[in-house]
Amino acid sequence: MKDSDILMDTSILYRCTQKYYDKCLEAYDINFSHLPILIQIYEHEGIAMNRLADMCGYDKGTITKSIQKLMQSNYVAMASDEADKRVKRLYTTDQTKGMIAQLYMVRKDWWEHLTQDMEEADITAFSRIQSKLCENARSFDDVKRGSLKLFEMQKVSFRDYPGNLACVLYTGGCNFRCPFCKNSNLVYVSEGQNEISGDTIYSYLSKRAGLIDCVTLSGGEPLMHELRPFLSKLHDLGYRIKLDTNGAYPAYLKELVRNGYVDYVAMDVKNGWTRYGESAGRDDLDFHLIQESIDFLKQGLVPYEFRTTIVKELHEKSDLLEMKELLRGAKKCVLQVFEDNGQIIQSGLHPVNMDTMRTFQAILAESVACVQIKEGKERDGMCMK
Ligand code: SF4
């Protein structure tokens, strides 16, 4: 089959499905685009609007318009979360509950029409392949990556890569603006900021091959850069590679892991989903991308850890309860005690006390195999700028 046939078939399937649903749903004053949303709310009563957008793969504007329409037609009601008024929770109305069974039948009839004359095994195979195609489509990564720019180098660290002596390299630029970020100079990169040349780094690492075990790529966000040629060279020198990432580029992360470019991943998990955007300094954050990176790492293709910097103003028990669900089944999570090094992005933030850290640790330990608390400075050893 030619690619053009697949595109055409997908287009026909979409348009015919839309036509069918629009016609059947006309009597209910909703259309094709509203049905999956309504069903998701019915099956997850009280779901947060942001969470619904992530599940359905909608942007904020689209989901807001659809919810407004469903509310106008008295199918959905919205209520503020009792603990956090900013979180909008969605419920179906009695009107929806009275007719949803008919909508399930509308959906079922169309599926039966589409799959008529097909073998059960073919239908199962199609469903599996369709899910995979959707996963691949959602992970489409159209980011244009620049050449690698390194601004800082910590020559030796005893604490960065578990059980190893590491050299830590810091890339410049980040797509997040976490209020508690201690590397604001790598987020707000100044015009005059000096880069460290690749040759300088390569020369240093060539001489230490066998003495230092591994190299950590940190930042900033390393996945905003084209890393592959540089990582290949480091592997050729015998270094293992640890990657620090904020998890916003799952497609690239998967590629690097699956092709053996990285040997260990430490991913920041900033918060539960309700306050994720706030904690990343990005109101428009597509949380689905974060979820995708978490789910991928949990598969365990490489050793990994999740890390969360706990900040009094950003983390409460309810947030940790959400994180407990996000990380369920993970092998390791490190809770870092927030420290203000005088360079953080937003002033006026504070650490929580140790009792609270231990309470949070206990919450996560209900779903994560190993939860550690890390105190003290993250950078040790010698630093070169
Ligand atoms: S803490 Fe946040 S803003 Fe700072 S480098 Fe990491 S992801 Fe970027």
Q: Which two tokens stand for residue 345?
A: 């992005």
Q: Which two tokens stand for residue 372?
A: 């550690």
Identify whether the C-beta of residue 50 lies closer than 8 Å to the C-beta of residue 322: no
Q: Atom 2, ligand 1: which residue's CA is nearest?
A: 178
pLDDT of residue 77: 96
Q: Atom 4, ligand 1: which residue's CA is nearest?
A: 181
pLDDT of residue 159: 84
Q: Atom 6, ligand 1: which residue's CA is nearest?
A: 220
Query: Which amino acid, residue 317?
Result: K
Residue 139 Cβ < 6 Å to ligand 1:
no
What are phi and psi for residue 214, nearest 5 degrees?
-150, 165
Three-state secondary structure call for residue 321 = helix
Measured in Å, residue 271 CA sits from the centre of ligand 1 at: 13
Identify whether the C-beta of residue 373 lies closer than 8 Å to the C-beta of residue 358: yes
Nearest-atom number in ligand 1 for the CA of 220 is 5
Q: Rg (Cα) of the chain, in Å, rounded? A: 24
Measured in Å, residue 31 CA sits from the centre of ligand 1 at: 41
pLDDT of residue 74: 96
Sign of CA pseudo-dihedral 170, 346, 247, 266:
positive
pLDDT of residue 62: 84
Domain ranges in the chain are 3-117, 148-384
CATH of domain 3-117: 1.10.10.10
Measured in Å, residue 205 CA sits from the centre of ligand 1 at: 26
Domain 148-384 has CATH 3.20.20.70: yes
Residue 244 Cβ < 6 Å to ligand 1:
no
Helix (H) or strand (E) holding 363, with range, is helix 354-364
pLDDT of residue 6: 80
Q: Does the pTM of the predicted model rise above 0.95?
A: no
* pLDDT by position in tens, the chain (length 385): 555 578 888 899 999 999 999 999 999 999 999 999 999 999 999 988 877 876 777 777 788 899 999 999 999 999 988 766 667 899 999 999 999 999 999 999 999 999 999 999 999 999 989 888 877 776 666 666 778 899 999 999 988 887 889 999 999 999 999 999 999 999 998 888 889 988 899 999 999 998 999 999 998 999 999 999 899 899 999 999 999 999 999 999 999 998 899 999 999 999 999 999 999 999 888 898 999 999 999 999 999 999 999 999 999 999 999 999 999 999 999 999 999 988 899 999 999 999 999 999 999 999 999 999 998 654 443 434 3
Residue 141, CA distances (Å) to 136, 145, 254 in order: 10, 11, 11
pLDDT of residue 383: 37
